[in-house]
Structure 1
Amino acid sequence: MTVPFKTDRIHHVAYRCKDAKETVEWYARVLGFTYTTAFAEDHVPSTGEYDPYMHIFLECGGGNVLAFFELPNQPEMGRDEKTPAWVQHLAFKVADFDTLKAAKAHIEALGIDVIGPTYHGIFRSIYFFDPNGHRLELACDIGTQEQYAELKRVAPMMLDDWSKTKTAPRHAEWLHKEPIEASE
């Protein structure tokens, strides 16, 4: 099937926050994001319904934008309790493993619990939560061109096997077998 258009990149990704000001300050202090824009309305432009909100936008590098909505008239925010906390997350790329380790030290020095670095075969990452309960990941690529090519080659087979069996296919089980030199 041919699609009559092509997207360039993600324009922004939006999540809910508990407090817009606290969220802006946290992302600036912890991740160095730049607060760029805010929209505030009493009525939702797309639906016309009354629901006052503050919509904030944060530049997070490479033209990528993370946005949040504070919704004071809505019930207190929660999360999908049927989905494990580790599933829904935002992942941001960092330059290399040294940068990842420096980020972990910085974030922990701010009193934030960090998991990792975790080895994923073609990247390493750390995990932590923002003040709204959103899980965040910082990741650095460590894979080789051959590894990426192999993953692309086996991806259709893995999806087909998963679709039929709902058990983890073993085509890329090498991804989580950490070599001795990679562990730190």
Structure 2
Amino acid sequence: MRDLDAFHHVALTVHDRDLCAEWYARVLGFEEVFREEGDERRACVMRFAGGGFSVGLVEFGPAGGTSTDRFDPHRTGLDHLALACASREDLDEWDGHLRAQGVETSGVIDIPVGAILNFTDPSGIALAIFWDGPTPKGTPAEAVTPG
């Protein structure tokens, strides 16, 4: 059996598929691939403009029963979804772009292995943009792990 190659997609349960699809397109530059309509669920698959990784946005209807709960990274399940950028400068630009779109951010946080920018989508799902900084070769993992 061959090893797995990469992540293909992640599907997120959202409170409002249409609102979130518009937000992922406007704020993060995702392109809509297709929509799915049904009585129990409505979904929209969004993809990076250059192709590759996809995010499914799934809203459960009355029969499926989308909860009125908000996302909580402290419950078992998803903590956050991190996207990648190419440079520290790009991360600063993303911070400015998100703020200009009215998105509250953590500001860029430098950590031993790079830098991270935290924010949430309209359903309150925790998202991040991460830049992998240079890690000196031979550095043990525990030397660069926060906490």
TM-score (norm 1): 0.68
Alignment correspondent of 2:54: 65
1:115 aligns with 2:106: yes
Distance, in Å, in 1 between the alignment partners of 2:89 and 2:116 is: 12
Q: Which runs of 5+ in 1 are unaligned?
A: 43-51, 155-170, 177-184
8 A Cα contact 1:23 1:131, kept in partner: yes
Q: CA RMSD in A?
A: 2.4
Alignment correspondent of 2:19: 22
Higher relative contact order (CA 8 A, sep 6+): 2
1:96 aligns with 2:80: no
Distance, in Å, in 2 between the alignment partners of 1:10 and 1:82 is: 21
After TM superposition, the runs of 4+ consecutive aligned structure 1 residues lying more than 4 A away are 79-82
TM-score (norm 2): 0.84
In structure 2, the CA distance between the partners of 1:80 and 1:133, relative to structure 1 (3 Å rule), is closer
Task: Please list the CA deviations of residues 41-99 of structure 1 after superposition, one character each: whole Å capped at 9, or x if unmatched.
Answer: 34xxxxxxxxx111211112551011111112104342575817xx7111000111111
Larger helix share, 1 or 2? 1
Distance, in Å, in 1 between the alignment partners of 2:73 and 2:134 is: 33
Alignment correspondent of 2:127: 136
Aligned-residue offset at 1:8 = 2.0
Equivalent pairs, count: 142
Larger strand share, 1 or 2? 2
8 A Cα contact 2:71 2:124, kept in partner: no
Q: Which runs of 5+ in 2 are unaligned?
A: none
Structure index of larger Rg? 1
